[in-house]
Amino acid sequence: MKSYGDTGANRVRQEARPLRILVVRLSAMGDVLHALPAVARLKQALPRLEVTWAVHERWSALLQDNPCVDRVIALPLGRWRAAPFGRATWREIRDCRALLREHRFDATIDFQGLVKSAVVTFFSRADRVFGFPGKEIREPIAASFYSNRVSSSKPHVIEKNLDLAHAVIESLQAGWDARGVAARDSVQVPLPAGTPEAHLPPEDFVLTSPFAGWKAKEWPPEYFAELAATLYRETGLPLVIDCAPGQEQEARWIVGQAPPDACRLHASSLEGLIAATRRARAVIGVDSGPGHLAAALGRPGVAIYGPTDPARNGPYASTFKVLRDDAAVTSYKHEDRVTAAMRAIRPADVWNVLGPILKPKNAPDTGHADARRPLRAAGIP
């Protein structure tokens, strides 16, 4: 377990006691990104606020050098899960509990709504614990840990998180010099620069991360190879296949199915993915963390959706276009297979949206591949 104070941008004011809030959003990558605007809104409204964020150590790099986060507690949840009854695990959990209680938080916010995140709020021993009501979270029993339950009817998870943040501001503003902040006010969400890693082409490229939290959200791997062939033929740009450690075999299969030089492999850490996303000419995403990262960084791209609803979980940026088959049925079942809704979106459909994004202004139309059916294509505001 790692805990590091002052993430690179803040110094706690000494002349007045800060308002101490613990934010709990442990995982996953996209969900951590979706909580950042709410935390930025808290900082915007409460100038004396000191934020500590409890997060899975795998995603702690997303919070590096963030002026909205004063301290990060990176929890080794993967190691704990692998050895739940080990002495080291229980010793680290005790240390975690002691560390959380040491900070004497005035309030804790659970943006996750799971039992494991609620247990972290319990360890904090904060007087006030904010979260969503049971009917609005995946594990309703988690709501029994909250003293303040905040309902939101907003469609997108970022907007729901902002509603929760506004409720915290309203509850805590007395005595903490709160600034007036309207729901429509914009917030800046800083993200780290990342660290360039090997295997990126020196020239422009299109980036994709074809893997997701479960198979039902993934696009068929052969479709990526077909899209890479079209992309390279039409623009000369390679499609870079980014993958995390352990996913190299499937990523290499995609590269092997594409024409020579049309596809490149980029096995990277999270820091490497961030740097690659910043460099990419455009990004092809599915409902997974790398796609949400691209949207948060303002990169242009295309998001391919099937069983999950883009109105709730889509890329929150006008730079992205979302493709979803009109016959898709919304489901959040963790199925271990590529669904018909994802197969319905053909490589030609994606190219018809991606091509104009890549084409320079006033460039002649060289002719795109024909789409086989009309699809919903709309940016998520």
Please report, for the chain, the start and end positions of each structural domain, with discontinuous segments joined by +.
2-172, 206-380
Query: Of 361 and 311, which is predicted with more confidence?
Result: 311
pLDDT of residue 140: 98
Task: Tell me what the mean pLDDT of segment 69-98 comes to.
Answer: 96
8 Å CB contact between 39 and 166: no
Q: Which amino acid type is present at position 258?
A: A
327-381 confidence digits (pLDDT tens): 999 999 999 999 999 999 999 999 999 999 998 644 444 433 333 333 333 333 3
Report the percent of the chain where pLDDT is more than 90: 84
Which CATH fold would you assign to the domain 2-172?
Answer: Rossmann fold (3.40.50)
Task: Tell me what the mean pLDDT of segment 303-319 comes to.
Answer: 97
Task: Tell me what the mean pLDDT of segment 72-95 comes to.
Answer: 96
Query: Of 167 and 375, which is predicted with more confidence?
Result: 167
Residue 119 — pLDDT band, cuts 50, 70, 90? very high
Residue 314 — pLDDT band, cuts 50, 70, 90? very high
Domain 206-380: give its CATH superfamily: Glycogen Phosphorylase B; (3.40.50.2000)
**Tokens 């995403």 belong to residue:** 285
Collect all residues with Cβ–Cβ distance below 8 Å to 176 and sequence separation of at least 6.
19, 46, 48, 49
Report the percent of the chain where pLDDT is more than 70: 88
pLDDT of 72 > 60? The answer is: yes
pLDDT of 250 > 90? The answer is: yes
d(CA 194, CA 197): 9
Instruction: Quote the radius of gyration of the chain (alpha carbons, Å).
Output: 22
Angle at 16 between CA 45 and CA 12, to 5 degrees: 70
Task: Tell me what the mean pLDDT of segment 238-263 comes to.
Answer: 97
Residue 199 — pLDDT band, cuts 50, 70, 90? confident
Its sign, for the CA torsion 215, 216, 219, 222, is positive
pLDDT of residue 188: 82
pLDDT of residue 171: 92
pLDDT of residue 187: 79
Q: Which two tokens stand for residue 144?
A: 């029994």
Query: Residue 163: CA atoms inside 13 Å, Cβ hemisphere, count?
Result: 16
Mean of pLDDT over the chain: 90
Residue 155 — pLDDT band, cuts 50, 70, 90? very high
d(CA 329, CA 341): 8
**How would you classify the pairing of strands 282-286 and 263-267?**
unpaired
pLDDT of residue 179: 66
pLDDT of residue 180: 63
